[in-house]
Amino acid sequence: MTETTPAVTPGEETVDAIVRAENVTKVFSTRAGDVRAVDDVSLWVARGETVGVVGESGSGKSTVARLLMGLQPCTSGRVVFDGRDLASVQGRELRVLRRRMQMVFQNPFGSLLPHYSAAANVMEPMRLHGRGTKESRRDRAVELLDLVGVNPRFADLYPTQFSGGQQQRIAIARALALEPELLVCDEPTSSLDVSIQAQILSLIGDLQDRLGLSCLFISHNLAVVERLADRVAVMSEGRIVEEGPAEQLFESPQHPYTQRLLGAVLPVTS
């Protein structure tokens, strides 16, 4: 690959970023040899901004999400959350920091605790961080379930008793329970039915407007990103090949990979 590094957007250093990845590289050592999942990626999310990351499967999008969440250590480079290098924060301190960043995972069937009811799943982060009493947590959980469109009457049902779309709503309610400053969504709709996808996306968009969330939104679906993101980064083979304001990027893609990606989108007729 002979990609040129993307031009640094003017004012990068002056932006009030909630999270910033600086020249981050992640190498996985496998039996087949080292895999560079993420290669020298720099990315930031400003407060109140939604950044979309698009790319094919295997382009390193999910790994970027996990690195930004501090779920995996970087091989080189660093991730700074609100001025603090995540690699230097450990144990208890890191868990306290996690309160301010929450994540919605790709697969709702797997990311909820199967032995906890919907309400208990939403209450769990509050319990972990010592928020409120048992009763107040439950009230809040029911409120959140209502907010994301899960009938509070079903609060005591278990995850397997819900459909995928409803499970993803519960997962979103759980991610919102601690009122995080940053919400990382890793393909939250890719395992869902198209009609449910639209509902979940407008839910997330709605919540962003209402709660002023900063959001990192990862998807292989360009239409999804176009709808939600203020700024978009395009990833290919572990690198960011193009990055810029959403409108500009979709209107006049500069990089050949982005052009191919945009050209490959099937016309949406519905």
Partner 1 sequence: MGTIATAESLDPTGLTTDDDGHRDGAADQLGTLRARGPWAKAWDRFRRNRLALISLVFCGVLVVVAAAAPWIAPYHYSATDYGSQLVGVGADGHLLGTDQLGRDILSRTIYGLRTALIVAFGAELLALVCALAVGLAAGYRGGRMEQGLMAFTDVMYAFPSYLFAIVMVAVLGRSIFALIVAIGIAGWVTQARLVRAQVLAIKQREYVEAARAMGASGPTIAVRYILPNAIGPMLVTTSFAIPAAIAAEAGLGLLGLGVQPPTPSWGGMISEGTRYLLSAPHMLLAPAAVFALALLAFTWVGDGVRDAFDPRGDQR
The stretch among 116-124, 134-142, 221-229, 254-262 that binds partner 1 (CB under 8 A) is: 116-124
Cα-flanking dihedrals φ and ψ of residue 185, to 5°? -110, 115
Residue 217 contacts partner 1 per CB under 8 A: no
User: Binding string, 154-173, against partner 1, x = CB under 8 A?
Assistant: x-xxx-xxxx-xx----x--
Nearer to partner 1, 10 or 91 (CB): 91
38, 128, 250 from 232: Cα distances, Å: 17, 34, 9
Q: CA-to-CA distance for 123 and 74, rounded, in angstroms?
A: 31
User: Binding string, 85-114, against partner 1, x = CB under 8 A?
Assistant: ------xx-xxx-xx--xx-xxx--xxxxx
Residue 197 CA from chain centroid, whole number: 15
For residue 140, the one-letter residue type is: R
61, 66, 127, 145, 171 from 120: Cα distances, Å: 30, 25, 9, 11, 11
Q: CA-to-CA distance for 101 and 127, rounded, in angstroms?
A: 16
Which of 6, 48, 132, 149 is the binder for partner 1 (CB under 8 A)? 149
Nearer to partner 1, 31 or 153 (CB): 153
Residue 206 contacts partner 1 per CB under 8 A: yes
Contact residues for partner 1 (CB under 8 A)? 69, 71, 91-92, 94-96, 98-99, 102-103, 105-107, 110-117, 124-125, 128-129, 146-151, 153-154, 156-158, 160-163, 165-166, 171, 174, 199, 202-203, 206
